[in-house]
Structure 1
Amino acid sequence: MTRVAVLGASGYTGGEVLRLLLAHPGVEVVQATSDQFAGKRLDFPHPNLRGMSALRFVPHDALEPCELLVSCMPQGGLLQRWARVRELAGRIIDLSADFRLDPADHERWYKKHPRPADVPRFVYALPEWTAQQLPEARYVAVPGCMAHASLLGILPLVRAGLVKPELVVDAKTGSSGGGATPDRASHHPERASALRCYRAVGHRHTGEIENIVERLTQTRPSVHFSATAVPSVRGILATVHAFASRPIDENEPLRALATAYREKPFVRLIRPNTSASPFPEPGPLQGTNYCDLAVDVDTERGRIVVNVAIDNLVKGAAGTAVHAMNLMLGRPETEGLGFRGLHPI
Structure 2
Amino acid sequence: MIRAGIIGGSGYTGGELIRILLNHPKAEIGFVYSTTRAGSPISATHEDLYGQCDLTFTDTIDPEIDVLFLCLGHGNSGKFLAAHNFSDKTKIIDLSNDFRLNADAEFGGRKFVYGLPELQKEAIMEADAIANPGCFATAIQLALLPLAAEGLIGSDMHVNATTGSTGAGVVPSATSHFSWRNNNFSWYKPFTHQHLGEINQSLSSLQQELPKMYFLPQRGDFTRGIFATAYVKNVLKPEETWNLYEKYYVSHPFVHVSEKEIHLKQVVNTNNCFIHLHVHDDVLLITSIIDNLVKGASGQAVQNMNLLFGLDEVTGLNLKGSYF
- Report the TM-score when normalising by structure 2: 0.94
Alignment size in residue pairs:
322
Q: Structure 1 residue 295: deviation in Å?
A: 0.5
Q: Structure 1 residue 29: deviation in Å?
A: 0.4
Q: Which is further off, 7-16 or 199-208?
A: 199-208
Q: Deviations over 1:25-48 (max 9, x none)?
A: 111101001223221111111112
RMSD between aligned residues: 1.8
Answering whether residue 320 of structure 2 is matched by residue 340 of structure 1, we say yes
CA–CA distance in structure 1, aligned partners of residues 49 and 132 of structure 2: 23
Aligned residue for 1:143, secondary structure, equals: coil
Q: Deviations over 1:53-110 (max 9, x none)?
A: 2211012xx222211101101101111122244525611000000011121xx6xxxx
Structure 2 partner of 1:252: 240
Equivalent pair of 1:280/1:293 in contact (CA under 8 Å): yes
Alignment of 1:100-119 (within 5 A): 100-103=100-103
Match of 1:281 among 263, 267, 275: 263
Answering whether residue 142 of structure 2 is matched by residue 144 of structure 1, we say no
Aligned residue for 1:43, secondary structure, equals: helix
Structure 2 partner of 1:112: none
Structure 1 partner of 2:66: 67
Structure 1 partner of 2:287: 307
CA–CA distance in structure 2, aligned partners of residues 18 and 145 of structure 1: 18
Structure 1 letter corresponding to 2:198: E
Alignment of 1:11-90 (within 5 A): 11-59=11-59, 62-65=60-63, 66-88=65-87, 90=90
Match of 1:132 among 122, 133, 139: 122
Which runs of no fewer than 5 residues in structure 1 stay unpaired? Answer: 107-114, 272-277
Structure 2 letter corresponding to 1:71: L
Q: Deviations over 1:103-131 (max 9, x none)?
A: 1xx6xxxxxxxx88766431111112211
Structure 1 partner of 2:255: 267
CA–CA distance in structure 1, aligned partners of residues 42 and 165 of structure 2: 23
Match of 2:187 among 193, 197, 203: 197
Seen in structure 2, the aligned counterparts of structure 1 residues 22 and 161 have a Cα distance that, compared at 3 Å, is same
Aligned residue for 1:323, secondary structure, equals: helix
Q: Structure 1 residue 280: deviation in Å?
A: 2.0
Q: Structure 1 residue 139: deviation in Å?
A: 0.4
CA–CA distance in structure 2, aligned partners of residues 284 and 25 of structure 1: 25
Q: Structure 1 residue 165: deviation in Å?
A: 5.2
CA–CA distance in structure 2, aligned partners of residues 231 and 20 of structure 1: 25
Q: Deviations over 1:151-170 (max 9, x none)?
A: 00111011123221521111
CA–CA distance in structure 1, aligned partners of residues 311 and 152 of structure 2: 35
Seen in structure 2, the aligned counterparts of structure 1 residues 241 and 265 have a Cα distance that, compared at 3 Å, is same
Q: Structure 1 residue 219: deviation in Å?
A: 4.4
Structure 2 letter corresponding to 1:72: C
CA–CA distance in structure 1, aligned partners of residues 153 and 220 of structure 2: 29
Aligned residue for 1:251, secondary structure, equals: helix
Q: Structure 1 residue 218: deviation in Å?
A: 3.9
Q: Structure 1 residue 230: deviation in Å?
A: 0.9
Q: Deviations over 1:171-204 (max 9, x none)?
A: 1111000000011121111112221112222111
Structure 1 partner of 2:150: 160
Q: Structure 1 residue 266: deviation in Å?
A: 0.7
Name the % identity.
35
Match of 1:322 among 299, 302, 305: 302
Structure 2 letter corresponding to 1:200: P
